[in-house]
Structure formats: structure tokens, C-alpha cells
């Protein structure tokens, strides 16, 4: 017979005691393994291997399953809200369980959470309820871009959304390089501004967006534009674009997320400057 540790590991790192008993492990044996430290009792009736991720362990101890921001970020998906603690999915009639060092954020949503982590699909749906349409849209596009959402998964997410929110999925694209691009495009769409996405300009290269044929918009994440070499390349590109008659507007994370009115005003101002020039031409 396999060890309790190896069995739980093969089950994904978590197992209910009732399931382990059907595999031949007695309660006494499981208790002995807990004392030896080869497995851990996360909450009554649920066991885990010691290497289980801390946030999943906390979610189980809290009485539910990890979800929302916590699950998405663990898969490398771009998420807008800062994570202040594990986001835990609890059923609507459940009660959170007290446990040491609890920083959990409880989400009382429909369904029955299984100890562990929710799927990416469910985590995206939970994120919309937790943080709103913008956060959902940016995370959805990020998950699609990195290959985490199949066509079937996208269809299921769309069907699960309220009818008034399904346009978010219909607007989404798989080629946004960052969540900042997703936010920028969504907000411009809501303003009724038509944009070209991921446009290649001869002599400049690929740019994030082009508006009115002459305004380049770039969303500069710190991870992509933080080094001096990358900033220099950006300036070279901007100079080449200017030589071709383009105006380039660059916005970083803090501007797009925390100072959108200023960003919006800059974009609308550039569009007003372009219109008289276009009329004279």
C-alpha cells in the first residue's frame, strides 16, 4: 500500500479523510502520520501534504476553496486588484471557520466549493463579482492570451455571465500584451473612440493602439519599460513616429489605474489637435 503522503500527493495534495479511508487508510494510521509530520490535518476531516501552497492551506482551513484574485494570480494571469489576503469561496449557507493567522477574504457565492482551488473559469466569474467589470475584462484577456482559456471555456464563461455583462467577452481579444492595454481599450470603447489595436507601422514597429490614424497610444507596464535600455528604445521609436507625422502618448500603470481623468483628458486633447490638421489636409 502506498504511504498516506504519496497517496494525498497523487490526489493533488489534498484529500478528505473519508476518501482516504476508502483507500485503506484507517483513522488511527492518519492520526499517526499527522503526529510524525508526514501529512497535516488542515481542518477536521481534511488532510494535506506539507508542501501544499500556504494560500490553499489557508482557504481550506477557512472552510472553502481558494478563488478569485488568488487563483488567477497563481496561474500568471494579470489581475488588477492588489491581493491583501487569500480570497476564499464559501457556499452561501456556509460559515467561515476560525483558524490561526487568518487574513482570508470570504466570498459567499453559489455552488459547493471543494477543498483546494477553484478553476480559472470560476475564479474569473468570482473576480467580476468581487472587483467589477474592468478587473474581469483585463484578467479574461490575460488568461486568453497566455493560453489558459479554450474556446469551450470562453463559451461557458459567457453563458454564466449575466446577459448585461456578456458584451465584455464579445469585446475581448487574445492579443493584448498587458492588463493595462486591456483597461485602456475598454475605457476608450466606453467613450466611443474607435482604435486600431496592435498596429505595425513601418519604420516604428508594432504599437499598442492608433487613434484617428495619427495618435499612437502606449501602455507602459513597469515590467516592460522600467529599464534604461527599454526607455531609450521607446524614445527612439517615438522619434521615428514623430518623423512620420504621429503623436505618441505614453501612460504607465499609476496613470491608467489611479489617474484616469488626466489620461482621458490627454487623449481627447490630442484628438482635438488632430482634427483641424486633418481638415486642412
Domains within the chain, CATH numbers bracketed:
1-52 (no CATH), 54-174 (no CATH), 175-281 (3.40.960.10)
Write out residues in the chain with pLDDT < 70, as ranges: 1, 222-227, 276-281
Q: How far apart are CA 243 and CA 89, in angstroms?
A: 54
Strands 105-108 and 87-90: parallel
Non-local (6+) Cβ contacts of 259 within 8 A are: none
Q: What is the DSSP string of 118-150?
A: --HHHHHHHHHHHH-HHHHHHHHHHHHHTT---
Please tell me what DSSP assigns to residue 116.
E
Residue 220, pLDDT score: 86
- The whole model's pTM is what? 0.89
Q: Where does 150-211 show beta strands of DSSP type E?
A: 195-201, 205-211
Cα dist. 184→132, 223, 232, 250 in Å? 15, 17, 23, 11
pLDDT tens per residue, range 60-83: 999 999 999 999 999 999 998 777
Cell of 54: 500556504
Amino acid 269: pLDDT: 95
Distance CA 246, CA 240 (A): 9
Q: What is the pLDDT of residue 279?
A: 47
Instruction: Say how many C-beta atoms besides its own lie within 10 A of residue 143's C-beta.
Output: 26
Under 8 Å between Cβ of 65 and 113: yes
At 126, list the grid cell.
Answer: 468570482
- State how far Cα 260 lies from the chain centre: 20
Q: Do 99 and 61 contact (CB within 8 A), yes or no? A: yes
Amino acid at each position: 500500500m502506498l504511504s498516506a503522503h504519496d497517496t494525498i500527493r497523487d490526489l493533488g495534495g489534498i484529500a478528505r479523510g473519508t476518501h482516504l479511508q476508502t483507500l485503506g487508510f484507517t483513522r488511527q494510521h492518519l492520526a499517526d502520520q499527522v503526529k510524525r509530520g508526514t501529512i497535516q490535518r488542515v481542518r477536521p476531516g481534511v488532510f494535506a501534504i506539507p508542501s501544499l501552497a500556504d494560500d490553499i492551506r489557508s482557504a481550506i482551513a477557512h472552510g472553502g476553496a481558494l478563488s478569485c484574485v488568488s487563483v488567477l494570480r497563481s496561474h500568471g494571469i494579470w489581475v488588477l486588484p492588489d491581493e491583501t489576503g487569500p480570497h476564499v469561496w464559501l457556499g452561501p449557507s456556509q460559515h467561515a471557520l476560525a483558524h490561526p493567522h487568518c487574513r482570508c477574504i470570504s466570498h459567499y457565492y453559489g455552488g459547493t466549493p471543494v477543498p483546494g482551488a477553484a478553476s480559472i473559469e470560476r475564479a474569473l466569474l468570482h473576480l467580476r463579482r468581487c472587483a467589477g467589470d474592468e478587473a474581469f475584462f483585463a484578467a479574461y484577456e490575460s488568461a486568453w492570451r497566455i493560453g489558459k482559456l479554450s474556446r469551450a471555456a470562453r463559451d461557458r464563461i459567457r453563458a454564466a455571465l449575466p446577459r448585461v455583462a456578456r458584451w465584455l467577452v464579445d469585446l475581448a481579444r487574445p492579443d493584448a500584451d498587458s492588463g493595462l492595454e486591456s483597461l485602456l481599450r475598454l475605457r476608450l470603447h466606453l467613450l466611443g473612440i474607435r482604435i486600431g489595436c496592435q498596429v505595425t507601422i513601418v519604420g516604428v514597429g508594432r504599437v499598442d493602439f492608433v487613434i484617428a490614424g495619427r495618435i499612437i497610444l502606449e501602455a507602459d507596464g513597469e515590467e516592460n519599460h522600467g529599464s534604461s535600455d527599454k526607455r531609450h528604445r521607446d524614445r527612439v521609436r517615438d522619434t521615428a513616429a514623430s518623423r512620420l507625422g504621429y503623436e505618441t502618448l505614453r501612460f504607465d500603470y499609476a496613470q491608467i489605474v489611479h489617474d484616469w481623468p488626466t489620461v482621458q483628458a490627454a487623449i481627447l486633447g490630442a484628438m482635438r489637435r488632430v482634427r483641424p490638421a486633418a481638415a486642412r489636409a
